[in-house]
Amino acid sequence: MAEKTYLQAISDGLRQEMRRDKRVFVIGEDVGVYGGAFKVTLGFQEEFGPWRVIDAPLSETAIVGGCTGAAIMGLRPVAEMQFSDFISCGWDQLVTVAAKQRWRAGTPVPMTVRLPSGGGFSGGPFHSQNPESSFAHIPGLKIVCPATPEDAKGLLVTAIEDPNPVLYFEHKHLYRRIKAEVPDDRYTTPFGQARIHREGDDVSVITWGAMVWTAAEAAQQLEDDGISVEIVDLRTLVPWDKKAVLESVSKTSKVLVLHEDTHTGGFGGEIAATIAEEVFEDLDAPVKRLTAPDTPVPFSPPLEKAFIPQVDDVASALRELAEY
Amino acid sequence: MAEKTYLQAISDGLRQEMRRDKRVFVIGEDVGVYGGAFKVTLGFQEEFGPWRVIDAPLSETAIVGGCTGAAIMGLRPVAEMQFSDFISCGWDQLVTVAAKQRWRAGTPVPMTVRLPSGGGFSGGPFHSQNPESSFAHIPGLKIVCPATPEDAKGLLVTAIEDPNPVLYFEHKHLYRRIKAEVPDDRYTTPFGQARIHREGDDVSVITWGAMVWTAAEAAQQLEDDGISVEIVDLRTLVPWDKKAVLESVSKTSKVLVLHEDTHTGGFGGEIAATIAEEVFEDLDAPVKRLTAPDTPVPFSPPLEKAFIPQVDDVASALRELAEY
Amino acid sequence: MAIAREAEPVGSLQEVKEAGLDREDLLGVYRNMLITRGIEERGHILYKQGKIPGSFYTGRGNEAAAVGVATAMDDQDVGTPLHRDMGVHISRGVEPWRIFAQYMGRADGPTHGRDGNVHMADSRLGLLAMVSHLPAMLPVAVGCALAFRIREEKRVAVGWFGEGASARGDCHEAMNLAGVRKLPVVFVCDNNQWAYSTPTYLEYATEHVADRAEAYGFEGVVVDGTDVLAVYRESRRAIEKARGGDGPTLIECLTLRMEGHAVHDDAFYVPKDMFERWASSDPIERFRTWLREHAELGDAEEDEITSGVKKLLNEALTRAEESPLPDPSSLAEGVFATPEDLDTPHHK
Amino acid sequence: MAIAREAEPVGSLQEVKEAGLDREDLLGVYRNMLITRGIEERGHILYKQGKIPGSFYTGRGNEAAAVGVATAMDDQDVGTPLHRDMGVHISRGVEPWRIFAQYMGRADGPTHGRDGNVHMADSRLGLLAMVSHLPAMLPVAVGCALAFRIREEKRVAVGWFGEGASARGDCHEAMNLAGVRKLPVVFVCDNNQWAYSTPTYLEYATEHVADRAEAYGFEGVVVDGTDVLAVYRESRRAIEKARGGDGPTLIECLTLRMEGHAVHDDAFYVPKDMFERWASSDPIERFRTWLREHAELGDAEEDEITSGVKKLLNEALTRAEESPLPDPSSLAEGVFATPEDLDTPHHK
Ligand SMILES: Cc1ncc(C[n+]2csc(CCOP(=O)(O)OP(=O)(O)O)c2C)c(N)n1
Ligand SMILES: Cc1ncc(C[n+]2csc(CCOP(=O)(O)OP(=O)(O)O)c2C)c(N)n1
Ligand SMILES: [Mg+2]
Ligand SMILES: [Mg+2]
């Protein structure tokens, strides 16, 4: 057990898995000599050689499609997108080939795509997006969004082990900001089991990724006013832990669904709709959503601050609910 | 005024617009000599010549990106996807360039993409999809899904006139099945204004595209049992007519959101969540969704029938709501 | 300016033997071509009988190209054949009755009614099921080759694509990655001169598709796709070259699509004389003549083969028609794989 | 095997005159190169001062290539320059203070703080704002050319791409469409030998990127990207060829990226002697020497230019720093265009 950043947890988890399982290899732009844009694979090529840590050409389609083929041939590819934004260039391969191959043709595609995502440091419209909602709509893809170093490692190992295409969204704004104890040994964190980041009685927040920490700060604020907030960290969007969400909502009878991605058609809608359908009778207030507005992600700090839900935004949404 | 199929209405609307406005041109695979896979542009190349009715190579990225450039240069491109499924190959161009260019750089992109979509005739996993939800999540794209011949023409004209990238989903299962009177003259049908396909008092159905007709048959069934169903045809998903939906729900206090696309993360979630948030107090029952299950679209008729919501499925969902 | 090498036709039996096929093999090739065509001809009938839902696509004219390439593959090699490549499935040993079941959306088809047409494959025979999106399987084929390279296996992946689909980005990214990394993959272009209704000069601006190979640092070859032996010889060369670590080859098989794009299309846009010209070079007839001239195929033996194929297909059809339609309650199963699904020859 | 033509360096003033530039033009070119470098050097300082949010990218080493091509464009031509092509914006007349404002995320930058770095363009000057996704602007540039062809205008579109980005499908689809339809477009490859940390041999397997042009049916040319006059001459030829209806050209400008990929990258992976070798061929110094040798550039005139540029940039910086940060309440405006937005020179 040692304190590690979220980034180190990812890196260590991946290295450990590569040492354990020769079928695991890494491919992506600049993952080799350079160690990846965020240095997750720093030193990997030296340890595992150039055919297990592969510098790909600037070709997201070939990377995703290549991993699909290699996975079907029995390897366990881990692709790195330099930024999650660029997965748009691999969209067709993922949704057309990888996602549907098991159901259609019985061929499992055990591959993982690592996607550094999210904003908070003026990355602008193309280096800050949270594209998880788009993919969560496609049957056949699993979607992982860890919030803590411990989950970052455990969910990555589960992703690599999973016999399906898994999109692993690692939030860049957590990379070096969030540190915690991470077990040294190999372990897996199951998909589809939410984590109660904080227990509470008055209002539930359903969220994932970096927003877990924003919600936690807001909950802290509200505690001083005597409002007790429960935070449910989904950890994975596909599958998502409906049971945990509905239980929390039934307990508090008020809920805020929170995400960093834009509003319309975001995955928050799915969660809110499910709550409204399944525990309608338990609700004492409308199902509220707090998200980014329907715009691209802005570059300039004051705009970006207005775009990404801030602690104060969450706190006032929670207060409003509590007072309903 | 003459009776026209949905397909003729599209074809006539497009031809009329091309005659009126020299900036309008058509590009797509096999749209020229062949007249398009569904013959929407039959005879167009003879009338408008090979540079206004352009047979493109098998290159969805070049088609979508090409239209983006041509639109910025002042033309009014109308791209045809051979099947809406293939727009996955133009995903990046649409979401990365076309959708964001106005907001980022002030450059409007007035283009239309025609997308023959939907199932019902054993097209299988790649010729039957309804990808509108994925795009509805991307700020900057407008999404149109006509259900009637009159709307098919009017909304196409509005799409071509609109200064933004518009995805125009034409449901293949309506092409020759649905006929109605269509005005001969040019007219536009505004975006963001739902159409009450049928008035009713007990339950509302919110839907679009081919499902409008499925809902209408189900409503007919229920009428015999004395249950009065209101059908709201959204016509456009972005922008969507929140006001009309909320009004209908407030009136009936019970609502079924219905779509042919798959469940999780489908646009129905957005609508259901909005209803649960904004007219929570008016609801007498949970917000129900009826959609395709989370699988690819199957080929074999019994499977496809189980996949696409059928009249009986809608009727029993409505009955359940009415009895709640 | 043509850049690619233009392959010679094949002459004598001796030459063929040197290329690795004995007389028994040749008769097998002939048989596979007959089965291929027979399946698709019967498919047409089934379609007209209303037994095939949706649309229906065939590869008439492409039998030699498909069978020729597949015959050059070793057992442990893998491939991603397309909608004109029924001959690949047949050559790899797929049972015809399963294909009929697939056509008709029955439970015993390789996709159990979930997908249609040739959108199927038996992964135990080293084939990967195509998707409609063209040529999305090329990057996947390259990924197979990458796996072989990583594990240092002497296996080769074969990826098919149409000349129309050569215009798409997937083709470029796949070939470029394969070229840069010298992966053991062979790209086979089924150039049947039409992409639906679109002629080649609107799809690419070179003389041959194979001229593109240079742009990726490997060799391109154009071969007459109606000459099964020439296709075999060039494929064998390319596959062995790839197996030996010398990287990819692009083989372009020149044919004509002898029917419409699919069953609904009468191909009015194809000049009549083009059909006539290519009809005189029918791949099956051509090989039959060659076998009679060079390999002593006599009437009796030929009859035996023909009637054997007929019997096989008749029985297959009966068996397929007995296969039930899939159970709707199974629809939602198997969207996600379980660990047990990985228990296949390739995944281990 | 190289397929592309390798362009000769430019010699005399006379030769340059024939190519269409008089002495005044040449001094303008020099000035634009100085402004380009000056802006990016000041950008570095701003970055270190913490005034530029996010990351920061420059095109040091690419000034000649960018300015050379842009100088060869006519007013009515359009282009889609990239992150190494500041010189294009400058040559087309973008005011430096706006660029500083863009860097700093201010309200008066061309994107009003919505986007950063060189992700900007003034559409009234015929430029289209790049996106990060490389080379997604190539199909867009081809679309501009398509519009010119449809309207039968004598205009040309210029599309830039990096040698790394040449691996992507967008590059292929754009070039193929342009080749098939002989569209009036010129493709300019900024080959600075690195794609982030990736060397060229892992990006493509030909000798030159320009060797690929053949695969699309048009000519490829490799030019020394530090020789502004050679770049100009080849660009002018290609642009006029395109304007005349003779289709696309691929011009590859060979340079070295003289800094890290972005400000955070120390480029440890680039061999030291590679930097040294290319430093001796600095495009600005090279052109300065040429001007002194061939165009009688004297100390006084040079000082005047240099100090003029310095003054311009200092004033620009001051003005940019006075520009306010954008108003957060404006965030949601303009996701969708209104009809009035179409009231621009290009949209009419
Ligand atoms: C990405 C994509 N776009 C469009 C289609 C529709 N489509 C099916 S086959 C076809 C023509 C294919 O031509 P070619 O690649 O030459 O193959 P062929 O059918 O001639 O064998 C088209 C356009 C498709 N399958 N995939
Ligand atoms: C589609 C896509 N994938 C990844 C990136 C991340 N990225 C930014 S620049 C770069 C290298 C680009 O190399 P090159 O095309 O040679 O241009 P250069 O930066 O060298 O001018 C990469 C990988 C990107 N911008 N776009
Ligand atoms: Mg073809
Ligand atoms: Mg570069």
The residue-averaged pLDDT of C270-284 equals: 97
Measured in whole angstroms, the distance separating CA D216 from the mean position of its chain's CA atoms is 23
* B77-to-A119, A269, B51, B162 alpha-carbon distances in Å: 34, 33, 12, 11
Peptide bond between residue C326 and the one before it cis (omega within 30 degrees of 0): no
Cβ C96 vs Cβ C303: under 8 Å? no
Tokens standing for residue C127: 């084939």
Taking a C-beta distance cutoff of 8 angstroms, is the pair C313, C96 a contact?
A: yes
- CA–CA gap between residue A172 and residue B250 (Å, rounded): 43
pLDDT bucket at D13, cuts 50 / 70 / 90: confident
Per-residue pLDDT for D6 more than 90? no
- Residue written as token pair 């007249």: B35
Cα distance between residue C133 and residue B228, in whole Å: 44
Q: What is the pLDDT of residue D2?
A: 62
3-class DSSP assignment, residue B147: coil
CB contact under 8 A, D133 and A86: yes
Fold of the A2-182 domain: Rossmann fold (3.40.50)
Say which residues have a Cβ less than 8 Å from residue A318's Cβ, sequence separation at least 6: A203, A205, A218, A219, A222, A227, A229, A256
Measuring from each residue's beta carbon to the nearest atom of ligand 2, which residues come in under 6 Å? A 29, 58, 60, 82, 86, 89; D 84, 132-134, 162-165, 190, 192, 194-196, 257
Which residues in chain D have Cβ-Cβ distances shorter than 8 Å to A126?
Answer: 119, 131-133
Tens digit of pLDDT for each residue in A275-297? Answer: 999 999 999 999 999 999 999 99
d(CA C29, CA B17): 56
Cis status, amide bond into D135, omega within 30 of 0: yes
Secondary structure of D47-99 in the HEC alphabet? HHCCCCCCCCCCCCCCHHHHHHHHHHCCCCCEEECCCCCHHHHHHHCCCHHHH
From A139's Cα to the closest Cα of chain C, the distance in A is 7
User: Residue D315: what residue type?
Assistant: E
User: For the packed helices C283-294 and C228-243, what is the interaxial angle rounded to 10 degrees?
Assistant: 90
Task: Report how far residue B201's alpha carbon sits from residue A61's, in angstroms, rounded to the nearest whole number.
Answer: 51
Given a cut of 50, whether residue D1 has pLDDT beyond it is no
pLDDT digits (tens, 9 = 90+) for D280-338: 999 999 999 999 999 999 999 999 999 999 999 999 999 999 999 999 999 999 999 99
With a 6 Å cutoff on the Cβ, whether B17 touches ligand 1 is: no
In 3D, which of B120, B31, B26 has the Cα closest to residue B77? B26
Q: Which of C163, C166, C196, C259 to mutate to test the pocket of ligand 1 (most atoms within 8 A of CB)?
A: C196
**D219 close to C (CB below 8 A):** no
pLDDT attached to residue C7: 84
Neighbours of D275 (CB within 10 A): 15
pLDDT class of B239 with cuts at 50, 70, 90 = very high
Instruction: Mutation target for C interface from A89, A97, A238: give the one with most C CBs within 10 A.
Output: A97
Q: Which chains touch A (3 or more CB pairs under 8 A)?
A: B, C, D
In this predicted structure, what is the pLDDT of residue C348? 64
| Per-position b or e across D167-205, b if 16+ CB within 10 A of its CB | bbbbbbbbbbbbbbbbbbbbbbbbbbbbbbbbbbebbbb
pLDDT tens-digit map of A51-61: 999 999 999 99
pLDDT for B7 beyond 70: yes
pTM score above 0.80 = yes
Structure confidence by residue, pLDDT tens digits, B131-166: 999 999 999 999 999 999 999 999 999 999 999 999
**Cα separation, C244 vs C156, whole angstroms:** 10
Phi, then psi, of D247 in degrees rounded to 5 = 85, -175
Query: Are the beta carbons of D143 and B93 separated by less than 8 Å?
Result: no
Q: Among candidates A77, A86, A79, A133, which has minimal Cα distance to A108? A: A77
Q: How far is the CA of C194 from the centre of ligand 3 (A)?
A: 4
Domain map of chain B by residue range? Answer: 2-182, 195-323
Report the pLDDT value the prediction gives residue A182, as an integer from 0 to 100: 98
What share of chain D has pLDDT > 70, as a percent?
A: 99
Say which ligand is closest to the CA of A61.
Answer: 2
Distance (angstroms) between ligand 2 centre and the Cα of B104 equals: 20
As a whole number, the mean pLDDT across chain A is 98
C1: pLDDT strictly greater than 70: no
Residue range D254-271: average pLDDT? 98
Which chains have at least 3 CB atom pairs separated by less than 8 Å from chain D? A, B, C
Distance, CA C33 to ligand 4 centroid (Å)? 49
CB pair distance less than 8 Å for B96 and A104 = no
How far CA A201 is from CA of A198, A204, A229, A242, A254, in Å, comes to: 10, 8, 6, 18, 9
pLDDT tier for residue D16 given thresholds of 50, 70 and 90: confident
Q: How far is CA B260 from CA B132, B133, B291, B301, C91, in A?
A: 10, 11, 6, 16, 40
Higher pLDDT, D13 or D179: D179
Helix (H/G/I), strand (E/B), else coil: A247: helix
Q: Does the B195-323 domain belong in CATH 3.40.50.920?
A: yes
Mean pLDDT of A180-189: 98
The CA A58 to ligand 2 mean position distance, Å, reads 7
Contact D177, B59 (CB under 8 A): yes
Is this complex scored with an ipTM above 0.95?
Answer: yes
Q: Helices marked H in B108-253 — which ranges? A: 132-136, 149-161, 211-224, 242-252
Q: Which residue of C has its CA nearest to A67?
A: C143
Q: How many Å apart are CA C181 and CA C95, to the nearest integer?
A: 36
Question: Which residues neighbour ligand 4 (ion) by CB within 5 Å?
Answer: D 162-164, 192, 195
D202, pLDDT greater than 80: yes
pLDDT in tens, C105-156: 999 999 999 999 999 999 999 999 999 999 999 999 999 999 999 999 999 9
What pLDDT sits at residue C2? 62
Per-residue pLDDT tens over the stretch B44-89: 999 999 999 999 999 999 999 999 999 999 999 999 999 999 999 9
Question: Contact C259/C207 with Cβ under 8 angstroms?
Answer: no
**Residue of chain B nearest C162, judged by CA positions:** B58
**Which domains occur in chain C, in start order?**
5-254+280-324 (3.40.50.970)
- The average confidence (pLDDT) of chain B is 98
To the nearest 10°, report the CA torsion of C327, C329, C334, C340: -80
Q: Ligand 1: which of B27, B55, B82, B114 to mutate, most ligand atoms within 8 Å of CB?
A: B82
Contact flag C105-B123 (C-beta cutoff 8 Å) = no
pLDDT value of residue C16: 87
Residues in chain B: 324
> What's the whole-number mean pLDDT along residues A232-260?
98
**How far is residue A229 from each of residues A85, A216, A253, D336, measured CA to CA in Å?**
32, 9, 12, 37
User: How far B15 CA lies from chain C's nearest CA (Å)?
Assistant: 21
Tracing tokens 């228990």 back to the chain, one arrives at C343
Burial category of D263 from C-beta neighbours within 10 Å (exposed 0-12, middle 13-18, buried 19 and up): middle
CA distance B180 to B184: 12
Q: How far is CA B81 from CA A67, B89, B268, in A?
A: 28, 10, 24
As a whole number of angstroms, the distance between CA A241 and CA A244 comes to 6
The structure tokens listed for C289 are 């003549």
Number of cross-chain residue pairs from B and C with Cβ atoms under 8 Å apart: 126
Q: Would the CA dihedral through D281, D286, D287, D288 be positive or negative? A: positive
CB atoms inside a 10 Å sphere around CB A16? 18
Whole-number Å distance between alpha carbons of B9 and C195: 28
Distance C196 CA to ligand 1 centre (A): 7
**3-state DSSP call for residue C237?**
helix
User: Residue range B234-260: average pLDDT?
Assistant: 98
Cβ contact, residue pair B105, D142, below 8 Å: no
